[in-house]
Amino acid sequence: MGHRKRLRERLAHDPRQLADYEILEMLLGYVLVRQDTKPLAKALLDEFGSLPGVFAAHPSDLRRIKGFGPKLESFWSLWKETWARMSELPLRSRPQLNTPDAVASMAIARLGTCTREECWVALLDKANGLLSWDRLTQGTVDQTPIYVREVLSRALEHGASSIILVHNHPSGDTHPSRQDEEVTARVCRSARDMGMRVLDHLVVSGNSFFSFQSHGLL
């Protein structure tokens, strides 16, 4: 316990002086209270390269590290959900979402490390302020359905003027598939017929994203 006390004292004095492995060691120690967590902290950093790499790692990859058990997996899930909600909070004040980057940070926090594909939709008002950010579907490791009728039904329910589609690729490749392009085109056509616009479709994976708008695919 003396070592952890010294770490806490250093944290209180100047957190910037702590090494990355010491920060991770302290976090792990709140879950593994009676265990020396320094070896595990160093093993995680060796495997994933950095603190962001550790926190963005898929659960299946984390489980391969000796000592990373169910308690830590639960803690990591809680931490990621907290981070995702904090990333979404600024957009709840309904700022204008005029660029892919404005939605990408929220999408990456929510979906970047998901192990199954999910489709989410951001619904916007006439000033491009956020009305709703919700999951539409959850699929498998390499596909999730996007139903045009469901997208438009949600948009009408919230009185939305514009739509931004988001889904993830757990594979790590953010490039859209032919099916992604086809369903996006169908949503765009149907939205136009109902007086709405699809502003973008983002494909996210890890800390990266692909924007249909930026690549001229809308």
Distance CA 129, CA 131 (A): 6
Reference 133, options 100, 168, 108, 106; nearest CA is 106
- Rounded Cα–Cα distance for residues 165 and 136 (Å): 10
- pLDDT at position 20, please? 93
Q: Which residues contact 163 (CB under 8 A, 6 or more apart)?
A: 121, 122, 123, 124, 151, 155, 187, 191, 196, 197, 198, 199
Compute CA distances 170 → 42, 91, 137, whole Å: 26, 25, 15
**Sequence ranges of the chain with CATH classification 3.40.140.10:** 95-211
**pLDDT of the residue at 90:** 61
Which CATH architecture is the domain 95-211 placed in? 3-Layer(aba) Sandwich (3.40)
- On whether the pTM is more than 0.95, the answer is no
Is the distance from CB of 70 to CB of 63 less than 8 angstroms? no
Q: Name which of 112, 109, 60 is nearest 82 in CA terms.
A: 109
**Segment-wise mean pLDDT, segments of 10 residues, the chain, 218 residues:** 83 87 93 92 93 83 92 89 75 66 85 89 91 90 90 95 95 93 96 96 94 94
Which tokens in the block code for residue 30? 């709140």
Decide: 11 and 4 in contact? Cβ < 8 Å. no
- Taking alpha carbons only, the member of 101, 98, 130, 133 closest to residue 119 is 133
The per-residue pLDDT for 65 is 94
Q: Could you give the 3-state DSSP secondary structure of residue 163?
A: strand
